[in-house]
A and B are shown apart, each in its own frame.
Chain A
Amino acid sequence: MPNAFPFAAIVGQDEMKQALILTAIDPGIGGVLVFGDRGTGKSTAVRALAALLPPIEMVAGCPVNAPTLADSPDWAGLTEDRRESRPTPVIDLPLGVTEDRVTGALDIERALTRGELAFQPGLLARANRGYLYIDEVNLLEDHIVDLLLDVAQTGENVVEREGLSIRHPARFVLVGSGNPEEGELRPQLLDRFGLSVEVASPAEIDARVEVIRRRDDYDRDPAAFCAAWAETQAALQARILAARARLRGLDAPDAALRDCAALCLALGADGLRGELTLLRAARALAAYDGAEGVGRAQIRAVAPSALRHRLRRDPLDESGSTARVARVLDEVFG
Chain B
Amino acid sequence: MTTIYQKTKGLQDTELHYCPGCSHGIVHKLIGEVLEEMDALGTAIGICPVGCAVFAGNYFSFDTIEAAHGRAPAVATAVKRTHPDQPVFTYQGDGDLASIGAAEIVHAAMRGEKFTTIFINNAIYGMTGGQMAPTTLIGQKATTAPLGRTREQAGMPIRVAEMLATLDGCVYAERVCVTDIPHLNKTKKALKKAFQRQMAGDGFTFIEVLAACPTNWSMEIDEANKWLMENMAAYYPLGVIKDTEAM
Partners in one complex: no
Interface residues of A (CB under 8 A from B): none
Interface residues of B (CB under 8 A from A): none
